[in-house]
């Protein structure tokens, strides 16, 4: 039996909590990219007004989910287990997303990121989000700055 690697150490270092945590599971992460998933709760407050009688997940939250999984989880991995992350500061510096399909309440999405570069504390990734039928929901390029304040 093959043991699946645990990425709990990354999840425990994420600087988010409910209701703004959009990572449930990390499937893999390495120096070249990351993959993880999140299920949008059908009871989430934002569905009440987006849109009347036909709720859809806002694109800004799809982008945030892609950033948390594809950019931040990868960044924490690249910083390494031994780095002290008590004072981690993360800021998105750019995003360019294309939205192709809606995500409805209760749907689970999977985010896959590929490293473009990581240097001078700036991380840039190509991200893709897929729905439960493995259809491409959105894709784009995200960049951010990661600082641990440990210098």
Tokens at 39, concatenated: 């299920």
Instruction: Tell me if residue 17 falls in helix, strand or coil.
Output: coil
DSSP for residue 72? I
Among 11, 21, 39, 50, the one annotated catalytic: 50
SS3 content of the chain, % helix, strand, coil (to 5): 20, 40, 45
Residues 6+ apart with CB under 8 A from 104: 55, 56, 57
- Catalytic, 50? Answer yes
- The catalytic residue positions are 50
């Amino acid at each position: 039996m093959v043991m699946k690697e645990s990425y709990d150490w990354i999840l425990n270092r994420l600087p988010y909590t409910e209701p703004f945590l959009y990572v449930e599971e990390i499937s893999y992460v390495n120096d070249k990219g990351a993959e993880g998933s999140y299920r949008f709760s059908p009871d989430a407050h934002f569905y009440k007004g987006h849109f009347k009688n036909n709720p859809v997940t806002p694109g800004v939250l799809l982008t945030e989910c892609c950033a948390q999984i594809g950019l931040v989880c990868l960044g924490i991995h690249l910083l390494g287990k031994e780095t002290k992350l008590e004072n981690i500061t993360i800021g998105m510096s750019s995003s360019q997303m294309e939205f192709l399909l809606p995500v409805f309440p209760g749907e689970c999405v999977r985010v896959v990121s590929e490293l473009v570069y990581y240097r001078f504390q700036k991380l840039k990734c190509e991200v893709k989000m897929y729905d439960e039928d493995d259809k491409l929901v959105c894709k784009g390029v995200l960049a951010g700055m990661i600082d641990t304040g440990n210098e």
